[in-house]
Amino acid sequence: MAGAEKVVNSAMNTNWGFCGVFLTLENVLLPEEKLSPTPSMVDGLSAETEQDLRILGCEFIQTSGILLKLPQVAMATGQVLFQRFFYCKSFVNHNMDVVAMACINLATKIEEAPRRLRDVINVFHHMKQIRQKRLLTPLILDENYVRLKNEVIRAERRLLKELGFCVHVQHPHKLIMMYCKLLNQDGNTKLVQKACCIIINCNNRIVRVGALSGYLGEENGMQHVCAKQTRQL
């Protein structure tokens, strides 16, 4: 008993240091040492091929989100998670399709628009058939489906582990209405829709090329891309 009391007293007198996580739009998400060389480059994948895979994976997430009737912020979150994961892990060692499914499935939970994992898998199966120009047939619930479902679940857990459960993403989409209200334009439906379209296009361009180190920074900032399109307003 005396030994146990000694341990408890020692723990109570110890000053534990805790580190918080602070993520904002201006906050650097990726340090320079992670940008180059990436894990995929270390495994022998060329920068051009990796870039193509990143864009393709984000396209899969965006298309699946549309078919699943998700809000745009959920699709954007899935794309950001996809990019972050492959700055930690290599395309050579991880199935891109499975990771993309895990990202969009996790994003639906983060953005409070959950979908069944079965629906996510069915949508990706449908997209694959269209890409390969095959006859559209429903996904059979057999051993292959169960194996794929388990792979997606494991990939989602791995995604959370690699990102340290820091999966919160702040998007500019949510700021549109706030700025419109400040300008007394929240009743201008045409203006709001146009602004949302510009933000979606700009966000998709930046996220798909993996420009996450300066999400709103001076070099790769959203404002530089948006500036070219604001004339349309």
Render pLDDT for 61-84 as a digit per residue (tens, 0 to 9): 999 999 999 998 899 899 989 998
Q: How many structural domains does the chain have? A: 2
Residues 63 and 155 in one domain: yes
Task: State both tokens at 96.
Answer: 């891109």
Query: What average pLDDT is seen over the chain?
Result: 79
Residue burial 135-162, b: 16+ Cβ < 10 Å; e: rest: eeeebeeeeeeeebbebbeebbebbbee
Which amino acid, one-letter code, is at 5? E
Tell whether the model's pLDDT for residue 209 goes beyond 80.
no
Q: Which long-range contacts (CB under 8 A, 24 or more apart) does 23-26 make?
A: 23/166, 23/168, 23/169, 23/170, 24/170, 25/170, 25/172, 25/215, 25/216, 26/215, 26/216, 26/217
Residues 132 and 192 in one domain: no
Among 122, 138, 168, the domain boundary falls at 168
Residues 144 and 219 in one domain: no
Q: Which of 112, 110, 130 shows the shortest CA–CA distance to 64? A: 130
Residues 139 and 209 in one domain: no
Residues 120 and 176 in one domain: no
Output the pTM of the full model: 0.75
Residues 148 and 191 in one domain: no
Tell me which residue range forms the domain holding 58.
34-168
Residue 25 lies in a domain: no
